[in-house]
Amino acid sequence: MGTEMVNAAEIFERTSGGNAIGLHTITRETLATSSADLRRRAAGLGFDATAGSLLPITTAQGELTEYYVGAFTPEADPFALGAIASRLPAGDYVFKTALPEPHLVALGWALELYRYDPLRKIERRKVQLVLPPKIDHAALLEQVQATFAVRDMINAPANLFGPAELEAAARKLAKTHGALFKVISGPKLAKEFPLIQVVGAASPRQPRLLDFTWGNAKHPKVTLVGKGVCFDTGGLDIKPSSGMLIMKKDMGGAANVLGLAQLIMAAKLPLHLRVLIPAVENSISGAAFRPGDVFKTRKGLTVEIGNTDAEGRLVLCEALAYADEEKPDLLIDMATLTGAARVALGPDLPPFYSDDDQFAQRLAHHASMQNDPLWRLPLWRPYNAMIETPMADLNNAGQGGFAGSITAALFLRHFVERAKCYVHFDIFGWTPTPKPGRPKGGEAQAMRALFAAIAERYSK
């Protein structure tokens, strides 16, 4: 891509901060009992210490020396205080007051400064934060860099980031960490993973399965599967134009899986990691698959096509069946799979599905601790009736229009039998309205919570 991307390493300053501009949080109550000089300055600039408001303090010569920042309530987004970074002038800053969650404040600071603009020239303000004490700089920087990488991939226009470019990104990551990388495509793909070939057959950009492994084979096996649909027209069941506007994000599952793999490998967790990404474009041509077609999968199950716009589960089921053959200790898939999940929980709260209550509980705990929200939904087995069909073992689109995210999860569950623990994530991968630490555009979701849960599980 371009060269104007945000450099995560330049966001944090590791010095003592002796010359940095001080940041003091202050409440309305504290302001009311502060010095007469501070109250005079506040009144002159209309500062009343509302959450996130800024009061600059300058010398008689006009030199900026510090800011007072309206304190947030404990219920506020943990990124909110750090998000003031986008409103500050260039300079080095240091918090002079104690922070309730310093890691999340620093993370929010960095994530707020992200911008995707390699395709235009723009001047950047260098706004650096002196890290609060006792923060693991290396671990924080890895989180920021992984998040930026996920956002970059999702935000990239589809004409610049198709299956070949997704392959190149995965290959580069694998090479950086010494992972063994391979690609399956062409006749071998069509023979061994027929539905991946079927979904990608209408595009001139050839479908492929990306596969890399890292770590000691004697360690517990963790396999990550990510949906890599680099653009989704809906196929012959074509989406309306409004529904296609952000379909470059339909590879968000693959992007998040690569971000998670980056965190795992950088931390050198004692596990044997495998990453599988079916990389395709769901397009339209004479080679496109049709509603009513029936195909046999790698696992041997037959699938009737109820809707060509439910293509994500078709490519995922092949990769999941392949992963399941090795009986992994933990099998995770991430996918921008259903609009039904957005109707149920909105864009910011991805659902996840698992039969493993213990892992689900730990994942929910880490989601809260990492400010990486998730919500567990049930694998409600009676809804399997919605994906039954007299023509095949399964239909890829549930009947009746109800419980679309659950039926998609149940469809995928049919392809996992041997994994000791399986978790499915139906993410959105996109922030439609800017929020603290989350600019509009591509987003990493569930990645940090998953990393914390995996690190806890395998670092003992």
Q: C-alpha 335: how far from its chain's center?
A: 10
Contacts of 296 (CB under 8 A, 6+ apart): 194, 302
CA-only gyration radius of the chain, Å: 24
Please state whether 95 falls in left (phi above 0), alpha (psi between -120 and 50) or beta: beta
Which residue in 96, 239, 362, 435 is the catalytic one? 239
Residue 145: other Cβ atoms inside 10 A: 18
Which residue in 248, 298, 313, 342 is the catalytic one? 313
Query: Cα–Cα distances in Å, from 358 out to 110, 111, 320, 386?
Result: 32, 31, 22, 28
Among residues 138, 175, 147, 158, the alpha carbon closest in space to that of 448 is found at 147
DSSP 248: G
Is position 239 annotated as part of the catalytic site?
yes
Q: How far apart are CA 331 and CA 460, in angstroms?
A: 19
Among residues 30, 23, 29, the alpha carbon closest in space to that of 85 is found at 23
Is position 221 annotated as part of the catalytic site?
no
> Which segments of 33-162 does DSSP mark as H helices, in order?
36-44, 102-112, 137-155
b/e map 125-140, b = 16+ CB within 10 Å: eebbbbbbeebeeeeb
Q: Annotated active-site positions, please?
A: 239, 313
